[in-house]
Amino acid sequence: MATNQELIDKLIEKLELLFKKQAEFSSEINSLKEELYHLKSGSVEDKIVSKIEEIQPEESPVKDLKEVVELITEASESVDHKTQPILETEYQAERVVTEEKNITDKKPKSKSSIEKFIGENLLNKIGIIITVIGVAIGAKYSIENELISPLTRIILGYLTAIGLLGFGIKLKEKYESYSAVLVSGSIVILYFITFFAYNFYDLIPQVFAFALMVIFTTFTVVAAISYNKQVIAHIGLVGAYAVPFLLSTGSGQVEVLFSYMVIINIGILVLSFKKHWKSLYYSAFMFTWLIFGSWFFVEYYEDELFSLALTFLSLFFIIFYITFLAYKMLKREVFKGSDVVLLLLNSFLFFGFGYAILENHETGSQLLGLFTLGNAVIHFIVSVLFYKMKLGDKNLFYLASAMVLVFITITIPVQLNGNWVTLLWVSEATLLFWLGRTKGITVYEKLSYPLMVLAFISLLEDWSNGYSLYYTIDAENKVTTIFNIYFLTSMLFVAAFGVIVWLSRKEDYASALKPNSIWNRLFTYSIPAILLFSAYYAFRLEIEMYWDQIFYNSQLVIPTEDNYDETFSNYDLFDFKIIWILNYSLLFTALLSLINFKIIKHKLFEKIALALTVVSIFVFLTQGLLILSELRESYLNPSEYFAQSSFHLWIRYVSFVFLALALYTCYKFIKREGIAKGYKIGYDIILHVSIIWVLSSELIHWMDLSESTQSYKLGLSILWGVYSFLLIAFGIWKNKVYLRIGGMAFFAITLVKLFFYDIVHLNTISKTIVFVSLGVLLLIISFLYNKYKNQISDDVNN
């Protein structure tokens, strides 16, 4: 039976919710007033009811609530502890909770559930892991450099773990999930400190260290059951897998390691199955295959370890396969796309490793077809069991049958080893179209369409013949940029098609084609497309030709002592050509959007222009920034034959102006009235991706100029981590869910880069800085989510 104070606290909590939504829940407030009145008759209770009645919707709920809380607290001191009032109060509290739940259930499911899970739960777990790793690296550094005495290091480590454990336990009442993460983190620190004490200074023997780690692992299991939190079980899983590596003596007895892993896997999988903690299954799956794969690629020798590798490979595959099927059959789980991925991954990891083991073995190489067929047989047996015994979802039968077909299919190959013409046609097409539309001569308009096609084909041929590549240009047929017949032809062609498009949009003139005919739709979209294509390439080809000719003229021929001539060309000019093409593309699409925004005002064309702008931005970010970095490298490592100017460095800022113009046109689009929210979200994504991409390029640029060796590792990781943190904080401030989720995703990318790229070559101090910095950032983010979770939830629901 709940105490009276607990019931009063529950009512106060519900009162706060009801005060926030008084207009919507007026009937619930009236019921609550009656129940509070019946708690105890007397003057104090009369004051409570009268005070509640005085509260109006326009008053501040928080201020009035505090006064009501004081009155309720005063009343609770004199409340009689009889059974009936307590039962009545408990009943009312449960009714309010039920009614609130019913109202909540009526609302659509919030999209912030994943975000809240990441922000309030996942980030603090990752943060504590990163922090622990950073502390571990720092401790290792202090050990190697003898900054403090060995005994002091170990004592400080244990005190840190105990302090973190105590702090976590203290937070359990209000922040249980957060407390669980801190407790589990303290256990990890205990693991590492014990490892340091054993491995570096021999302060404790191996048996005692192993016993301590077994105790830590056991404690994590007990804590996981006590907290009913998977995160602690995960820490125990990590600790269990870490023990043999931390205490390894380098004996190379891999059969002992794999046997230990089999036992751990069986125990973990049984625990995950009973508690229905599938994430433990996924973690065990990941750890097992990572460890096996690492051993296979580093230490496997086919002559000595052939049988052992195949044996444990088969055991791991069978354990996970059976566990997967047991989940689906006994737990009656719904078949999902992720299940397909998991089953396929397990099957193909088994097949891939098995194929590699057999291929490098003299006898095994003759059994590749049989091994592949054996995979098909395994899945065939499973599919037959599903069919005969009608087990699980029918999709499992279809998936197993599909795997049979896949491996049977693989078995077979495995075992068996003129400018004037253009101008004439486009002019004629324009004239016929004008006569057909304005004069109502349908036959003229119909004749103009094939002439348009012929004129376009002729223009393409002119471009092919006129704009030659640099290696076909010589001094005799050098073409003057802009002032040449090819560009003039392109401009006249564009002007003619511009007239045709303008006439086609005039509502005063009816088309000769049937409105709903396929030909009408075809020409309605193809003619403007030809116009855009021609206008874009008319200038782009001129830019290409300009730089191609300069490249050709830069060619140097230097004779050698062997009477052979060596030819050298300034290939930086190619980079300049690409940059100016990208700048032109950004400018073209931006002007296209602005012209439509100010003059044309066509809805479909507006979206097409926007899409082209986004494509231009993406190409610049992926290709342009790379070319700019090549120009920087050329400036830093100049050629002995060609001079490099400072424009190799400063052209990047010219390009950034064009990029900003393109982003501005996207901004003008989303600021229009009636623009869907999806476009605004898309713009924010494009904007922040562009900013971080450019900032990363700038960081690398200036760090290379300063001869830093950590530009791609320490610098980028810290920049990305800080930007992710700012993005999440900005998302919380502006109540933008997608920005918070995007910040989390970008932080995840940063962590992947950190673990699989940065850590390989960073020195100890750099590793400590990166790990601790990112870990602390993650903990701050998670704390913000825990602190403002109610505000975030309200913002999303509103």
Mean residue pLDDT of the chain comes to 74
Window from 179-183, 317-321, 391-395, 669-673 with minimum mean pLDDT:
391-395
pLDDT at 236: 62
pLDDT: which is higher, 657 or 709: 657
* pLDDT score of 335: 58
Where is pLDDT greater, at 110 or 179?
A: 179
Structure tokens at 526: 């193809």
- Note the helical H segments in 505-646: 518-553, 572-595, 603-619, 625-636
Q: How confident is the model at residue 47 (pLDDT cuts 50, 70, 90)?
A: very low
More confident residue, 232 or 606: 606
Name the nearest CA neighbour of 392 among 335, 339, 342, 347.
335
617: nearest Cα among 648, 649, 593, 600: 593
542 confidence band (pLDDT: 50, 70, 90): very high
Residue, of 450 and 53, whose pLDDT is higher:
450
pLDDT in tens, 243-282: 566 555 555 567 766 776 776 677 666 666 666 677 777 7
pLDDT in tens, 67-97: 555 555 554 444 444 444 444 444 444 444 4
Residue 400 has pLDDT above 50, yes or no: yes
Grade residue 60 by pLDDT with cuts at 50, 70 and 90.
very low
* Local confidence band at 601 (pLDDT 50, 70, 90 cut-offs): confident
pLDDT band of 330, cuts 50, 70, 90:
low
Cα distances from 653 to residues 207, 223, 658, 698, in angstroms, run: 63, 56, 9, 10
719, 754, 725: which is closest to 742 by C-alpha? 725
Q: What is the mean pLDDT of residues 179-202?
A: 73
Give kind and range of the element (H or E) at residue 565.
strand 565-568
Helix, strand, coil percentages for the chain (3-state, nearest 5): 80, 0, 20
Which pLDDT score is estimated for 17? 67
The pair phi, psi for residue 660, each rounded to 5°, is -65, -40
Neighbours of 255 (CB within 10 A): 12
Which residue, among 719, 722, 693, has the nearest Cα to 708 in the 3D structure? 719
Q: Who wins on pLDDT, 484 or 276?
A: 484
CA-to-CA dists, residue 452 to 426, 430, 473, 634, 726, angstroms: 6, 8, 31, 46, 54
Task: Output the pLDDT for position 398.
Answer: 65
Lowest mean pLDDT among 16-25, 87-96, 516-525, 686-695: 87-96
Query: What are the backbone dihedrals phi and psi of residue 557, each rounded to the nearest 5 degrees, phi first?
Result: -115, 120
Q: What is the pLDDT of residue 426?
A: 85
Residue bearing the bigger pLDDT, 293 or 280: 293
Is the pLDDT assigned to residue 101 strictly greater than 90? Answer: no
pLDDT level of residue 143 (50, 70, 90 thresholds): low
